[in-house]
Amino acid sequence: MNRVMIAGTNSGVGKTTVSIGIMAALKKRKYKVAPFKTGPDYIDPGFHKYVTGNPSYNLDSYILNENHIKYLFVNSMNNHKDIGVIEGVMGLYDGFGVTSKIGSSAHLSIITQTPVILVIDATGMSNSAAAVVLGYKLLNEKVNIQGVIVNKVSGLEHYKLVKEIIEHDTNVRCIGYMPKNSDISLGSRHLGLIPAEELASLEVQIDKLVELVEECIDIDELIEISKQTSPLSYNQKIYDDFLYKHENVYKDKRIGIAWDKAFSFYYQGNIDILQRLGAKIVQFSPLQDKKLPDNLDSIFIGGGFPEVFAQQLAENTGFKSSILEYLENHGKCYGECGGFMYLSQGIKNLEGITQDMVGFFPMICEMTVKLQRFGYIELNVNINEKNYNTRAHEFHHSKMMKQGNQLDHKYQIEKYRDDKLIRQWQCGLEKKNTIAGYPHLYFLSNLELMTCLL
């Protein structure tokens, strides 16, 4: 299974642009690329899918155990893929806590036994670039750094100088560069890059990026590095036993999933496990559809940017009425983050204007300049008198403002750092047959919990 990880020295170093460009260049060469993203990000996988034509899987070593990660990776690669490309997260060694490297790109590269291509920013550097690469190489020698891509060079001569220095002092080869001040821009907003679905000129930008990558990065060398791997093994019985246990629960079950520009934050692994159980996925759009599809057994409203499209969501009164009727009549529903906001009375923007949402939960979601929650959490929820624990992730610029009576929260949440409890709070609501809250869940972390939610 040929594979390579594109990791960076830090956030903002350019690893996402480089990763997308490499994936697109490989696709242009007729390679069947299996894309992956380190950690809980939803936006980058959308770009991966756009350029490769294949779904991208999140590999998160905090939320998922090693067996789950290998299961996701191997099953994606076994589907006739030629090469796996894993995009890193933040800096190579940035993970969960101070002493723990769980959740980091480095940790994931060790679990998946994947060679690493390190992206560095060479702005204003020559000899110091070697110190950067050597530091990353020596910090953990289990991390197999096999190549360097030098970003933001002032020109070819600058790259040649930095390349000679790095290779002489670190014995790590440079396989290419990206020039400073290129006119390639993917755009960003408060949660990161603007999703691929919203960028009208994306195809033009990707074409420019591929041309640049082909000119400046040695793709043949990257392919050779990707071959320096060995097979991964994992315990398949865990998943076979679960599928057997629930094969009649989900067979032919119609699960509606909200999917449009406002709602697109879903783990591909979550959708896959539902389909493997025999469920039929029915997509619907709260932005465009006039009403909820008929004969749904349950619905899943994931995260996204409902605040960006709040006016359009508010004006689609027919759809809001149909989903409210479904919920009030005990239709089963699970919502997270953006979906949670959509089920509220309304979304209040930074100018103080509130757009009406579905109106199912007695609260308003108020947008804030400051990030309210960010990071990994431990979540406990009681459903049908049984407790379920799972790891999850939160990332949002809004907060709940109750309307009327006290809210009865469904989720008990704890946040740890290096095994030390640093914060506790409550979140999530339950009403009739609907459970929703800010946390994003990866179903593989607790498959039995999934069966209670959908």
Catalytic residue IDs: 337
- Give the DSSP per-residue string, 301-351: E-EE-TTTTHHHHHH-HHHHHHHHHHHHTT-EEEEETHHHHHTSSEEE-TT
Structure tokens at 439: 């946390």
Strands 298-301 and 332-336, bridge-based pairing:
parallel
For residue 277, the tally of other CB atoms under 10 A from its CB is 22
Q: Where are the alpha helices (DSSP H) in 96-246?
A: 105-111, 128-139, 156-170, 202-216, 219-226, 237-245
Task: State phi, psi for 428 to the nearest 5 degrees.
Answer: 80, 145
| CA distances in angstroms from 340 to 56, 195, 443, listed in the order given | 24, 20, 17
Asked if residues 24 and 51 have their Cβ atoms less than 8 Å apart, the reply is: yes
For residue 418, the tally of other CB atoms under 10 A from its CB is 11
Find all residues with CB under 8 Å of 176, minimum gap 6, and list them.
149, 150, 213, 216, 217, 218, 221
Closest by CA to 25, choosing from 223, 197, 225, 224, is 223
Task: State phi, psi for 330 to the nearest 5 degrees.
Answer: 70, 25
Asked if residues 104 and 275 have their Cβ atoms less than 8 Å apart, the reply is: no
Structure tokens at 122: 């060479």
